[in-house]
Amino acid sequence: MNFAAWMAGIQQRTEDALTTHLPAATVAPSHLHAAMRYATLEGGKRVRPLLCHAAGSLFGAHCELLDVAAVTVELIHAYSLVHDDMPCMDNDVLRRGKPTCHVEFGEATALLVGDALQSLAFQLIATPFSGLEPVRQIEMVNLLAVAAGSRGMAGGQAIDLASVGEQLTVSELEFMHIHKTGALIRCAALLGAHAGGAGPDEIIRLGHFANRIGLLFQVVDDILDAEASTATLGKTAGKDAAQNKPTYVNLLGARDARVMAATLRDEAHNSLQPFGERAQRLHELTDYIVDRPF
């Protein structure tokens, strides 16, 4: 199967699983449930689920288990976007080509959407799954909690908010992004590996790859934010510069940011060498992350 067909298949599986696991909008409290579905369904590239499946396939994980793991990461991601767009944070009105959740449903509901999506993610990943050892499952719950928390994504967001108008060094910027964006991307890959029963050494090796990919994703995001249009991105373009936020583009310049992306891409590919041809999807995903349109 070629990469495009594989990607479309995983995106559809993810959409189906999210549709199933999110409470129906007809179930009370329907305003909250409608908003949760609005914020999560029919949009997004599903990069984290793709990574989870690609990593899981490396270790022969069951697709049904990968669906659950992928959904949990995507729910945390959707929650982070809802909160990030709120007036107290990035204050944005456009996400995935439509009005942001708080614009459509109000601020209080958007806050609850994030809370409830996060809780749902942990409910799903903590639900016993046949064939998955409890010790392994607890490790997966722990991974997700650390990735989403103050030592991961939420911590990175705190640094991001505090850095507006500040002059960061490249290593400070890297520290922020390893947490804000990289932690959840890394978690997606590692959950996939755990779902396939990967051993400690394999987890460490895959972790090296995931760290490169997390940073690569962010460098490309900065380049896209600076160079692509709002229509293409489906979110407000040029936001980082307008908000005086440090980015790889304004720190290094567009040319060197591209050089950095190329280096990270090479490092990501090289880190997959020990896995041989089994890592084909991860190689393809690496290239997709660089060449993605939005």
Tell the smallest beta-carbon distance from residue 258 to ligand GRG (Å): 17
Tell the smallest beta-carbon distance from residue 135 to ligand GRG (Å): 29
Tell the smallest beta-carbon distance from residue 277 to ligand GRG (Å): 27
Amino acid at 179: H
Residue whose pair of structure tokens reads 């609005």 in the numeric block: 38
Q: Is 118 in the site for ligand GRG (CB under 6 A)?
A: no
- Of the candidate residues 118, 137, 181, 247, the single one contacting ligand GRG (CB under 6 A): 181
Q: Is 221 in the site for ligand GRG (CB under 6 A)?
A: yes
- Of the candidate residues 25, 103, 154, 159, the single one contacting ligand GRG (CB under 6 A): 154
Q: Is 109 in the site for ligand GRG (CB under 6 A)?
A: no
Q: How far is Cα 171 from Cα 178, in angstroms, rounded to an integer?
A: 10
- Of the candidate residues 47, 52, 65, 279, the single one contacting ligand GRG (CB under 6 A): 47
Q: Is 186 in the site for ligand GRG (CB under 6 A)?
A: no
Tell the smallest beta-carbon distance from residue 72 to ligand GRG (Å): 15
Closest to ligand GRG by CB, 19 vs 127, is 19
Q: Is 44 in the site for ligand GRG (CB under 6 A)?
A: yes
Residue 5 CA, chain-centre distance (Å), reads 21
Q: Is 37 in the site for ligand GRG (CB under 6 A)?
A: no
Residue whose pair of structure tokens reads 């499946």 in the numeric block: 53
Tell the smallest beta-carbon distance from residue 20 to ligand GRG (Å): 19
Q: Is 176 in the site for ligand GRG (CB under 6 A)?
A: no
Q: Which stretch binds ligand GRG (CB under 6 A): 7-15, 31-39, 80-88, 266-274?
A: 80-88
Question: Nearest residue to ligand GRG, using CB?
Answer: 44
Q: Which stretch binds ligand GRG (CB under 6 A): 2-10, 43-51, 165-173, 250-258?
A: 43-51
- Of the candidate residues 45, 98, 269, 283, the single one contacting ligand GRG (CB under 6 A): 45
Residue whose pair of structure tokens reads 């997966």 in the numeric block: 140
List contacts with ligand GRG (CB under 6 A).
44-45, 47, 77, 80-81, 83-84, 96, 153-154, 157, 180-181, 218, 221
